[in-house]
Structure 1
Amino acid sequence: MVKIDWIVGSSILIYLATLITEIVSSVPIGLTQSQFGGNCILGASVQYDTKTINITEYGNTSACGFCTYLTIFTVLYALCYGSYSAFALYKSVENATLMWVLPAIMICCLMFCMKFISSCILSIGFSQFCKSVTADASIQNCQDGETKVWAYKSTVIGLVDYYANMTTAQSASWFCVFEWFLLTGLAMLHYRRNRSIRSAGEVAGGFAAADTEGIVSHEILPGKT
């Protein structure tokens, strides 16, 4: 019976999930920026005037830009390495000598750190924005601001759905942090197992032991019985 490598198989599933959650974490930020005329509300300050919420100062555009454009790199890497792992699993590529595991560890660690920073920027910036929104006694919570008319200087923005968008973005972003943590751990386990396979490799009949124990276990190579 063919036995599938659980480390590589689990990584493929998590890479697929990461693709989805990474997109979910950035699209709502872009939608919110679009509603506010391309401006960033992370860390923005507002004032309440009768029935209108006036934005006195927008947040730094680079904050939203970092959270949004980081997704391009995380999605591309998850797509590329996830596809590579799936191809290796399908072809039974020998993971100890052929799969690029050490680069995966370094990149996953980098992605984990960058996504953690991005999530902190997103959560702290939106928290500061909500604190400014709820500074007025007439607004009980940040979500109530969606029922008010928004304006910036003399320009009326209208009603906006910022709370639902940013809450979704935050949840997805922190879930991505957890996924990159899992991928880093799996890559380390993969690397550790590869070292064990290499150190225990024995040459028999022109093939190393590592050549007969690939990503799909118990598979007999041509000419071997």
Structure 2
Amino acid sequence: MELDRRLLLAHCTAHALSIAAGLLVVVPMALNGSAFKENPGEPSGQPGDTSQLVVQQWGPPAACQFATFVGIFTVLYGAAQGWRSLFYLHGRHDDTLFSSFLTVLLSVCVLFLSGGASVILSLGLVSWCDTVTDHGMRPYSCAESQLVPLYLDVDTSSFYTELDLAQASLWCVTALWLAQSILAFLRLYHSHSQHISGPCRPREKELLLGHSPSDSGSPSPSPATPVVLV
């Protein structure tokens, strides 16, 4: 297919940004998972005294593992597709029609997955902040609570910084997947237009030149010889 450099450059830029955003999801979530001993999620707890928190039940680890999976997939997919985009720019061609359709389908599916992961992570952070601040009854905010000893069997010294960064980055990943879905659809439309209009171009060229393709192989008729009557 004929290459549309503007679409491909925009898609390549979106892939590069998604790699950076995906890393900003994976790294904080990995650090938080290590500090919380693989017990992140939405905790069910109750405050103790002025500085002690009693967690009755931890949320499912899959809540944070899902967000980490979206981040890892975004990094790997962005690296692979970014390399393909550079290859297409160098070779001056684009995906086939079927490959463009698969790219649109995959982008839309991961868009919904990343949106769901963003909502889950945001709700988990809100639930944890409500627990550690006793719904705003404590004299410190959620960001300040990471500096307060909570006497838990986990390291809470930087939980808010890590989860807040991962949350913002995951929403950026969702926005980038939306942009990639739109760009993939535009590339599919471009490929479809090239596929439809390709066979028609020789015919249009012949019509512009003033003769049909069926006449190109036959000799042009000689002018009629005038008859002279004596």
TM-score, length of structure 1 as denominator length: 0.80
Quote the offset at 1:105 in angstroms.
0.3
Match of 1:129 in 2: 128
Matched, 1:192 2:227: no
Offset at residue 125 of structure 1 (A): 1.0
* Structure 1 partner of 2:170: 173
Instruction: Tell me if 1:29 matches 2:29.
Output: yes
Query: Which residue matches 1:16?
Result: 16
Distance change in 2, residues 1:86/1:131 (3 Å) = same
Separation in 1, partners of 2:6, 2:34:
43
Q: Flag structure 1 segments of 5+ consecutive residues without an equivalent.
A: 210-225
Are 1:72 and 2:77 an aligned pair?
no
Q: Residue type matched to 1:141 in 2?
A: S
Q: Which runs of 5+ in 2 are unaligned?
A: 206-230
Encode CA deviations 1:96-142: one digit per residue, 9 max, x unaligned: 64782111101111110110010010001111111111216233421
* % identical aligned pairs: 22
Higher helix share: 2
Question: Quick check: 1:146–1:161 contact (8 Å CA) kept in 2?
Answer: yes
Query: Are the equivalent residues in 1 in contact too, given 2:45–2:53 (CA < 8 A)?
Result: no
Paired residues, number: 200
What's 2:227 paired with?
Answer: none
For 1:133 and 1:30, the matched residues in 2 are separated by: 21
Change (3 A) 1:54 1:160: farther
Contact 1:28–1:165 under 8 Å retained in 2: yes
Contact 1:22–1:71 under 8 Å retained in 2:
yes
Structure 2 equivalent of residue 109 of structure 1: 108
The 3-state SS of whatever aligns with 1:55 is strand
Take 2:81 and 2:27, find their aligned partners in 1: how far apart are those partners? 23
More strand by share: 1
Cα pair distance change 1:111/1:96, threshold 3 Å: closer
1:97 to 1:4, Cα distance in 2 relative to 1, 3 A: closer
Asked whether the 8 Å contact 1:47–1:56 carries over to 2, the reply is no
CA distances 1:184-206 after superposition (whole Å, capped 9, x unpaired):
0011011111111111114889x
Question: 1:115, 1:177 within 8 Å by CA — same for their partners in 2?
Answer: yes
CA distance in 1 between partners of 2:99 and 2:84 (Å): 10
Higher Cα Rg, which structure: 2
TM-score normalised according to structure 2 size: 0.78
